[in-house]
Amino acid sequence: MTQASELGRVVVLYGGNSAEREVSLRSGAAVLAALERSGVDVIGYDPADGGLVGLEALAPDRVFIALHGRGGEDGTLQGALELLGIPYTGSGVLASALGMDKQRTKLVWQALGLPTPESLMLDADADWDDIVARLGLPLIVKPVHEGSTLGISIVDSREALRAAYHEAARFDARVMAERFIRGEEYTVSLLGGRVLPAIRVEVPSGFYDYEAKYNSNDTRYHLPCGLDSAQEAALGALCRQAFEAVGGEGWGRVDVMRDGDGRFWLIEVNTAPGMTDHSLVPQAAAYSGIDFDTLVLRILTATLEPRQA
């Protein structure tokens, strides 16, 4: 078992300047506390305060990335850490950049024949009638490079589509529309090559938005998820394939919808999932007998191993 002294000085990166700053602060605080309880020499650092120069001044031996959104999980930070020669948690540059881009992730999945809902890119001059004709109603409009469901809308009419586009465009210059899958929502976490038990998410409002994810106490997380063993095994295998397709490593999460015919549809991959008290990876790990402190330590300990080429 890895000793805390083997990890050297660890910096937990959290906060940042993305739209997910508040969630990142909560994730980072939880990770920092866990590592302190494990006896790790650890300090928290918000790059919004001093950027990479401030991080270098701390002379870390390795970094735990608890930054969400752009600037944290989109490959830019990973590239900087590669140049600085500082080991870090989670996926590398390519997988981080690709996973943050929902539309290009879908293109990779489609190329491999993996099931993901049809989508179309939008702009201010889009033919709204054509979008509706091709994707049907309802449909989902979302920023391509945002997480935590920021800027996402469920559109029930052609008239609402334009407004949904402009709402998403507040968060990102690239906006997509996606065919709506009516059914159950599942999420599958991956840890060091292991597929953790699936969670079925149930939201009274029917939409797992920012409030439902991080603040509401009404959201229900079903563990076990309710699938039979064969169905859950198939779901886990699909999510592992989807994660590996984008080059994911270390740990992550894949979100999936199951339609009325029982078919699974890949929605998105998350290469730096939340670690708050409402987050899904810690719940799946706990159900598997991995407490939060052990989970955090396992994610960090993976930085002692050579990164995949």
Catalytic positions, written as ranges:
20, 148, 214, 253, 255, 268, 270, 274
Residue 271 structure tokens = 């290469």
DSSP three-state, residue 299 = helix
CA dihedral of 131, 132, 135, 140, whole degrees rounded to 10: 90
Residue 2 structure tokens = 């890895």
Question: Taking the chain, what is the end-to-end CA distance rounded to the nearest angstrom?
Answer: 25
**Amino acid letter, residue 243:** F
Residue 127 structure tokens = 């033919």
* Contacts with 298 (C-beta within 8 Å, 6 or more apart), sequence order: 191, 192, 290
DSSP 235: H
**Amino acid letter, residue 168:** A
The residue to which tokens 């990876």 are assigned: 281
Interatomic CA distance for residues 27 and 92, integer angstroms: 20
What are the angstrom distances between the C-alpha of 259 and each of 3, 135, 240, 253, 263?
46, 16, 20, 20, 6
* Contacts with 53 (C-beta within 8 Å, 6 or more apart), sequence order: none
Contact between 100 and 144 under an 8 Å Cβ cutoff? The reply is no
